[in-house]
Amino acid sequence: MAEENDFRHWDELIPDALGLIFSKLSLQEKLTVIPRVCKSWAKAVLGPYCWQEIDIEEWSSRRQLDNVDRMLQMLINRSGGSLRKLCVTGLHNSSIFFSIADHAGSLQTLRLPRSNISDAVAEQIAGRLCAVTFLDLSYCDKISACGLESIGKNCKALVGMCRNLHPLHTAGISSPDDEAYTIASTMPKLKHLEMAYHPLSTKSLLTILSSCPDLEFLDLRGCGDVRLEDKFLAEKFPKLRVLGPPVRDVYERNEWDEGSDYSYISEDLAWDFSADYFDDAGSFDDQWDDEGRLEGLELRFYEGIDEDNEAFGWPPSP
């Protein structure tokens, strides 16, 4: 007699288990492939278990700004207030920052490089970011010491801060030490601090070192006005690892730099989809027959990414 099979079908897994599995997939796979497998998977990918960690930083760096805001808003809504990690670049609409703050009750890691967050916005949302322990505001040109002060006073658990600047954007800063003094006075629990290409002085840096006794990593690449001897650091701060100030490698290029030779990766396999497919107000039920199979499904693979694509950056079918 054949033994009874104790294995459960994939479509019978509980939603949080499916969410853990699906979190290992790419954004494109979660949005265009998983919903077409079966009803239970389609419902799981609409729920919060798949979106407790949202990392679209690489994807957003290659897309039009309006599409980035639209995509992020959809994913935040799906997180259902359970968001723990958010990484995205290039946000430009003030309303999206307020939406992030409204869903930040469990948010611990927040990376917003190259975003247009201002001092006024930071002051209004900082009180709702109190759970954040790691924050990246690198290359955010509209925020200053005032905005950082609001964040530091409200984010008491902050242990990681990235505030790198672009070397071309530091010229003409009227008060180069203001941000350093603000960090020293409002973020005493920091263990990780990045301030690459800041025009800060040795005096303001020493204030940070004395005010943040738990500091373990400090990025000072490109901080040409800082003068610290290795012997002094080894004696006074033996557990601190310092990167810089000398820049020994080529400054990291990105696709936003003028003259970038970045091109889309042609090896990626693209899936057909339409923009309307991602409307959370819709239902997947109409696509399935009574046995849970997708009727009339046709999947196509093809190579190449069209730079003039629609919706979120993936191409229409050929």
Q: In three state form, how does the secondary structure of 219-239 look?
A: ECCCCCCCCCCHHHHHHHCCC
E strand or H helix at 19, and its extent? helix 15-22
Amino acid at 315: P
Distance CA 142, CA 88 (A): 17
E strand or H helix at 18, and its extent? helix 15-22
Distances (CA, A) of 88 to 192, 194, 254: 20, 18, 14
Per-residue pLDDT of the chain (318 residues; tens, 9 = 90+): 445 556 666 666 777 788 778 878 888 888 888 888 888 888 888 888 888 899 999 999 888 888 899 999 999 998 888 899 999 999 999 999 999 999 999 999 999 999 999 999 999 999 999 999 999 999 999 999 999 999 999 999 999 999 999 888 776 676 789 999 999 999 999 999 999 999 899 999 999 999 999 999 999 999 988 988 888 888 999 999 999 887 765 444 443 343 333 333 333 333 333 334 455 544 455 555 555 544 554 444 434 434 444 445 554 443
Q: What is the pLDDT of residue 250?
A: 47
Tokens of 210: 């004395």
Domain boundaries 50-241, corresponding CATH code: 3.80.10.10
Contacts of 170 (CB under 8 A, 6+ apart): 176, 197, 198, 199
CB 202 within 8 A of CB 171: no
- Residue 77, number of CB atoms within 10 A of its CB: 15
Q: Is the dihedral of CA 221, 121, 106, 66 positive or negative?
A: negative
Distance CA 318, CA 315 (A): 8
Question: What is the strand order of the sheet 85-87 is part of?
Answer: 53-55, 85-87, 109-111, 134-136, 160-162, 192-194, 217-219, 241-243
CB 107 within 8 A of CB 135: no
Nearest one of 102, 101, 92 to 69, comparing CA atoms: 92
Structure pTM? Answer: 0.75
Q: What is the pLDDT of residue 11?
A: 62
